[in-house]
Amino acid sequence: MKTMRMGLLGKKIGMTRIFKENVTIPITVIETGPCAVTKKKSPDKDGYGAIQIGFDECSEKKMTKPVAGQFQKSKVSPRRVLNEIRLSEDELAKYAIGQEIKVDSVFSAGDIIDVVGTSKGSGFTGVIKRHNFKSFKETHGTHEVKRHGGSIGAAFPQHVLKGTRMAGQHGNSRTTLQNLEIVEVRPDENLLFVKGSIPGAKGGYVMVKKAVKL
Amino acid sequence: MDTIKKIEKEFLKDRIEDFSIGDTLKVHLKIKEGTRERTQLFMGTLIARKGTGLNETITLRKISYSEGVERVLILHSPMVEKIEVVRKGQVRQAKLYYLRDKVGKKAKVKEKK
Task: Give me the pLDDT at residue A134, please.
Answer: 92
Considering only CA atoms, give the Rg of chain B. Answer: 16
B74/A contact by beta carbon, under 8 A: yes
Question: Nearest residue on chain B to A24, judged by CA atoms?
Answer: B77
Residues 6+ apart with CB under 8 A from A61: none
Minimum-distance CB partner of B4 among A21, A22, A29: A29
Q: Does residue A93 register a pLDDT over 90?
A: no
Q: Which top CATH class is B2-103? A: mainly beta
B79/A contact by beta carbon, under 8 A: yes
Task: Give me the pLDDT at residue A15, please.
Answer: 93
Write down how long chain B is: 113
Q: Which domains does chain A have, with CATH numbers?
A: 1-33+102-133+167-214 (2.40.30.10), 35-100 (3.30.160.810)
DSSP sequence for B34-83: TTEEEEEEEEEEEEEEE-SGGG-EEEEEEEETTEEEEEEEETT-TTEEEE
Q: Rounded CA gap, B83 and B19, in Å? A: 9
pLDDT, one tens digit per residue, over B11-34 is 888 888 899 999 999 999 988 888
Structure ipTM over 0.85, yes or no: no
B62/A contact by beta carbon, under 8 A: no
Task: Give me the pLDDT at residue A30, please.
Answer: 93
**% residues pLDDT > 70 (chain B):** 99
pLDDT, one tens digit per residue, over A49-69 is 899 999 988 888 888 999 888
Q: Are B37 and B30 in contact (CB under 8 A)?
A: yes
Q: Does residue A199 register a pLDDT over 90?
A: yes
Q: Does residue A1 register a pLDDT over 60?
A: no
Instruction: Kindly state the helix (H) or strand (E) to which residue B2 belongs, with its residue range.
Output: helix B2-11
Q: How many CB pairs under 8 A join A and B?
A: 32
Q: Which residues of B touch A189 (CB under 8 A)?
A: 3
Mean pLDDT score of chain B: 90
Enter the DSSP assignment of A63.
S
What is the average pLDDT across B37-66? 92
Q: Which residues of A touch B55 (CB under 8 A)?
A: 17
> To the nearest whole angstrom, how far is the Cα of B43 from the nearest Cα of chain A?
20
Query: Among residues A206, A201, A214, A132, which one has the least CA distance to residue A176?
Result: A206
> To the nearest whole angstrom, how far is the Cα of A189 from the nearest Cα of chain B?
9
Q: Are B70 and B61 in contact (CB under 8 A)?
A: yes
Q: Does residue B104 register a pLDDT over 90?
A: no
